[in-house]
Amino acid sequence: MSRLDSFIARMQAQRDCLNWLAPAIRALPGPLLEVGLGNGRTYDHLRELFPGREIHVFERKVAAHPDCIPPDDRLFLGEARETLARAARQLGPTAALIHTDLGTGDTAANRAMADWLAPALAQLAAPGGYVLANQSLDVAAWQRLPEPAGVPRDRYFLYRAAPSS
């Protein structure tokens, strides 16, 4: 499998997971969080899936397509570790969906990142909210969900935060 093959498979898995979660997310109140804007393609997909929905974007340095840059008041600009903490104070645990696509090809660095990323996101997910992550995130209050049909295991990681009791 070439890097082109595996990249296509990863992009398809991301889209399939988002499309599959969409009906459940539409049924929940609260904003959506896109952690890592990149070129803005996934942000654009979220805008299409959820028209008019409040989407907050976290990005160190914006380098997206000009059509895919969020409005200033929806952009948390800077290091994710700091901006996620700021968002937690500002938004609280309200997000219906958190999609995170941070990290690099460096597996060890990604694992180390998960140590601070998982608790940071745990403060932002609404009760019953969904998390789609490109890496495993260990949060006691989250339940891992099975991938939708056709999506290979462990390519993306789906979680649901515990509903309010």
Catalog residues that contact its own copies under the rule CB under 8 A: 2-5, 7-8, 11-12, 14-15, 39-42, 44-45, 47-49, 65, 67-68, 105
Q: How far is the CB of 112 from its own copies (least distance, A)?
A: 20
Residue 64: DSSP 8-state: S
Torsion over CA: 144, 146, 148, 154 (sign): positive
Q: How far is the CB of 30 from its own copies (least distance, A)?
A: 22
- CB closer to its own copies out of 44 and 54: 44
- CB closer to its own copies out of 8 and 141: 8
Q: How far is the CB of 63 from its own copies (least distance, A)?
A: 12
Give the integer Cα–Cα distance in Å for 41 and 46.
Answer: 9
- CB closer to its own copies out of 83 and 134: 134
Q: How far is the CB of 109 from its own copies (least distance, A)?
A: 14
Q: How far is the CB of 139 from its own copies (least distance, A)?
A: 26
Read off the tokens for 26.
């539409």
Q: What is 20-63 written as a DSSP string?
A: HHHHHHHTS-S-EEEE--TTSHHHHHHHHHSTT--EEEEESS--
- CB closer to its own copies out of 66 and 146: 66
Which 3-state string (H, E, C) describes 107-153?
HHHHHHHHHHHHHHHHCCEEEEEEEEECCCCCCCCEEEECCCCCCCC
- CB closer to its own copies out of 68 and 126: 68
